[in-house]
Amino acid sequence: MTKTILMGVVLIALPAALLAQGQAPAPSAGAPAAAASAGRVAVVDFQKVVLENADGKKAQEKLMAEVTKRQKDFEEKQKSLQDAQNKLQTQDKVLTDTAKADLTRQIDKLNTDLQRMNDDAQKEIGDLQQQLLRPIADRAQKVLQAYSTENGFAVVFDVSNQANNIIYVQDVADVTTEIIRRVDSELVKTPLAPAAAAPKPAEPPKTTK
């Protein structure tokens, strides 16, 4: 069976852990109503804030470059697997039993290699995503808190969280664009330190025949 790489799943949305750690604790039961009565309420798409500021866009470019590189390596090995499978199927009658056994072992090894490549890619791309986006999320959270204090917002709901129950939002209550603008302004004044390169996995020991 031909395997399909799954790395693209990593880039669909920010991990829940990254969003959760970048936000203030949720108010206790009954607190939203009380807080709303004491101040204004706004909403923000926190995922959009993190991804669509200048540094967030650069981080996405780095992630996509890494995904593209790994996808190419994966597809090359996948082609080797398909070639071996086709040879076993089309030349079944002319291959010796020894040749069939060798080809079957080769197919099994390629399948194992592909699975390992995919598993490693999932973990390492996820780690790189955290490494690149965590500082941006932390900065965005500080900007959001300062802006909320400045404008007297008692509660700011994150509409990028699919679990929320908000069904209508006035445009004037959405502060996402202003927070992105302020994050960019903060990054110009105090740029984030360059992210360290993700560590490469250790090479497996070579075996001699």
Provide the residue range defining the domain that includes 149.
Answer: 7-22+34-189
> Is position 114 within any domain?
yes
Per residue in 156-206, pLDDT (tens digit) is 988 887 666 676 666 778 899 999 999 999 888 888 766 555 555 555 555
> Is position 53 within any domain?
yes
Per residue in 125-147, pLDDT (tens digit) is 999 999 999 999 999 999 999 99
Q: What is the mean pLDDT of residues 49-65?
A: 93
Cβ atoms of 6 and 100 closer than 8 Å: no
> Is position 209 within any domain?
no
> Is position 82 within any domain?
yes
Total domains present in the chain: 1
> Is position 42 within any domain?
yes
pLDDT of residue 201: 53
> Is position 203 within any domain?
no
> Is position 168 within any domain?
yes
pLDDT of residue 209: 44
User: Whole-prediction pTM value?
Assistant: 0.68
Looking at the chain, how many residues does it have?
209
> Is position 183 within any domain?
yes
Please determine, for residue 80, whether its predicted confidence score (pLDDT) is greater than 90.
yes
pLDDT of residue 53: 94
* Complete DSSP assignment for the chain: ------GGGGGTS--HHHHHHTSPPPPPTTHHHHHHHHSEEEEE-HHHHHHHSHHHHHHHHHHHHHHHHHHHHHHHHHHHHHHHHHHHHHSTTTS-HHHHHHHHHHHHHHHHHHHHHHHHHHHHHHHHHHHHHHHHHHHHHHHHHHHHHHHTEEEEEETT-TT-------GGGB-HHHHHHHHHHHHHHSPPPPPPPPPPPPPPPP---
Per residue in 86-114, pLDDT (tens digit) is 999 999 888 999 999 999 999 999 999 99
